[in-house]
Structure 1
Amino acid sequence: MDTQESLRRKLSGAEDLKSVVRTMKAVAASNIGQYETAVRSLGDYYQTVSLGIVAYLGKEKSNPIIENNAPIANKDKVVCALVFGSDQGLVGRFNDSLAEFVSQSLQEIEGRKEIWAVGERVQLLLSDMGYDTAKTFSVPGSVNAITPLVEKILVQSEAIFNKNKTNEIYIFHNQPLSGAAYKPAMQRLLPLDEKWRQSYTAIKWPTKRIPQLIGGNESTLLALIHAYLFTSLFKGCAESLASENASRLAAMQRAEKNIGELLEELSLQFHSLRQSTIDEELFDVVSGFEVMKED
């Protein structure tokens, strides 16, 4: 049975934990703002890159963008999945739901699977599901740390793609929704084949003025492709970090509610026990007085 001293220690510990939760809520809310701002800012740049690709495709209709290589047998095809997860806990089912989505999506894609994980926690979940992890990257801790990570991924992905070790690369990440909600998303990053080209046919040039290419066609295409790959990876990483902090904020809100209920329950127990102790002491005093009075 709890004593007043033990209940007092529990109350003190719960108050300290509540302060920690409030601090983590404030940090998560602040982080959400900077990552959402980065995603919005990137949206205009991504739109510009898309219009540049549309302009190039409209100018080079007769020439293929990518040479059609010989078809690869499904059993020999290598599929690389770049998964943006988290390195820290207290994020609810952020990593679990993403890992399940990755597993379900890869089952529908034929070929040998290879995982590139950003974050140790999602990497461990995918390993438990039977997927081999070829590379593991640390999750960036700020917006400024996203660019070095993206450049590192680009260098390594282009290296293995040029060596024909990988035939397809997909991006998996959580995408923020309104409030603290999010959903898993998938994007096919490479190869830039006819399927990729057709995805841009629906985008129309916003004005009646016909765009013109300045400089060499090959250098223009390479610059547009690099910008497309960079913005796709940056956007996926920033959306993942925004979703992670939204999930952590929701988890901290639930924790704060549970701690509040616990504090209320402990306070009731403490005051009830304290009142019982006072009643017992008063009863002893009254009983002693009655005995003395009779004597």
Structure 2
Amino acid sequence: METLEHLQRRIATMRDLQSIVRTMKTLSSITIRRCERAAQAVRAYDETVDYGLQIVLRDKDVADAAIAASKAERKTGPVGLIVSGSDHGFCGRFNEVVLNAALENILSGRAENVALAAIGTRAAELLTGAGHTPDVVHATPGSVEGLRASTRNLLALADHWRTQRGIARLRIVHAVQTPETPARPVTMSLLPVSPAYLFHQANRTWPSRRLPTYTEERNIVLTSLIREHVFVRIFRALAEAQASEHASRLAATQSAEKGIRDRLAEMNGAFRLRRQEQITSEMLDVLAGATALNRR
């Protein structure tokens, strides 16, 4: 039977663990909100890029050439796949959900034609365990402020793949938070840009009667705008993935907190029972001693 001192130490340890879980839950809640705000804030920049593409694609020759090139690139060629996972644990099945979606993308085509990049060491380890070792492993953004640097690194990787390995099709697999689940897998095509999107921008009505002008060569402007369009999509994917990771961690901490609370109730009950037994035993010893003295 455990002593009172041992029970007290176990209860103190459990309370410390409860405090840690509560802190993790609070941090996850704050990070989810900040990631959601970051994803919303970049939408204004995305709209500006859309307006720029609308102006450039008003030229029918430029629009037709861009749409034709996009359709051609979508059919053939090797694929670059970015898998956004986690560097840290205690987030439920977040990494497994992303891994399953990544494996579906890999197996849908020829595995030898897929270049892999993993965001997060845990995602990289799972991919390696499944027989698909990533070519590149990036750390997950440490905070919302790190999303921009991570996005730039992935853009540089995309440029390297396109120039050195001839990769024209680029996708990113990540998880998003939904009302039904904290982690739902999503596969987003980054390159080539959707022909439907280009067609929509080329035929959309300008919101005012004044049209902007530009002095740079059209193809250069178009390339720069498409690059910024891809930048926005990667940024939003990373922000949504980080929010989903922390939503998964929040669900895990809530479950852990309930388990700790139930365990603490059991341990406190055992402590009270053991203490009552000890008090009763001491009182009986005192009573027995008093009885023995009275008999003398």
205-214 or 53-62, which deviates more: 205-214
Greater shift in the superposed pair: 199-208 or 50-59: 199-208
**Which structure has the highest helix share of the two?**
2
Q: Does residue 1:225 correspond to 2:226, yes or no?
A: yes
8 A contact 1:147–1:234 mirrored in 2: yes
Counterpart in 2 of 1:183?
184
Checking the alignment, whether the CA contact within 8 Å between 1:77 and 1:110 is kept in structure 2 is: no
Cα deviation 1:86-121 (Å, max 9, x = unaligned): 111111111111111111233223452221001000
1:118 is matched with 119
171-180 or 84-93: bigger deviation: 171-180
Q: Secondary structure at the match of 1:46?
A: helix
Aligned amino acid, residue 97 of structure 1: V
Contact kept? 2:25, 2:254, Cα under 8 Å: yes
**Residue matched to 2:199:** 201
Q: Deviation of residue 202 (structure 1)?
A: 4.8
SS, match of residue 57 in structure 2: helix
Deviations 1:120-168 (A, max 9, x none): 0011111111112100011111222222222122122112212343242
Distance 1:243 1:223 in 2: 30
Q: Deviations over 1:188-221 (max 9, x none)?
A: 11234xxx22244356446375856533311220
Normalised by the length of structure 1, the TM-score is: 0.88
Instruction: Report what 1:254 is aligned to.
Output: 255
Task: With the length of structure 2 as denominator, give the TM-score of the two structures.
Answer: 0.87
State the secondary structure of the residue aligned to 1:139: coil
Query: Gaps (5+ residues) in structure 1?
Result: none
Q: Shift of the alpha carbon at 1:288?
A: 3.1
Aligned 1:119-198 pairs, distance under 5 A: 119-178=120-179, 181-192=182-193, 196-198=194-196
Superposition deviation, residue 181 in structure 1: 2.1
Q: Is the 8 A contact 1:113 1:131 kept in 2?
A: no
- 1:284 positional shift: 2.2
Tell me if structure 1 keeps the 8 A contact 2:77–2:167: yes
Q: Please identify runs of 4+ aligned residues in structure 1 that moved more than 4 A.
A: 66-69, 208-213
Q: Distance in 2 between matches of 1:131 and 1:217?
A: 41
The percent of aligned pairs where both chains have the same amino acid is 28
Query: Which position in structure 2 is the counterpart of 1:27?
Result: 27
The 2-side partners of 1:211 and 1:188 are apart by 31
* Separation of aligned partners in 2, 1:115 and 1:164: 12
3-state DSSP class of the match of 1:261?
helix
Structure 2 portions without partners, runs of 5+: none
Paired letter, 1:207: P
Query: 1:270: which partner in 2?
Result: 271
Is the CA contact (8 Å cut-off) linking 2:173 and 2:186 kept in structure 1? Answer: yes
1:236 alignment partner AA: A
> Helix, strand or coil: the match of 1:185?
strand
How far 1:293 moved relative to its partner?
Answer: 3.6
3-state SS, counterpart of residue 64 of structure 1: helix
Shift of 1:259: 1.2
AA matched with 2:78: V
Q: Is the 8 A contact 2:67 2:199 kept in 1?
A: no
3-state SS, counterpart of residue 173 of structure 1 = strand
In the TM superposition, residue 237 of structure 1 has moved relative to its aligned partner by 0.9
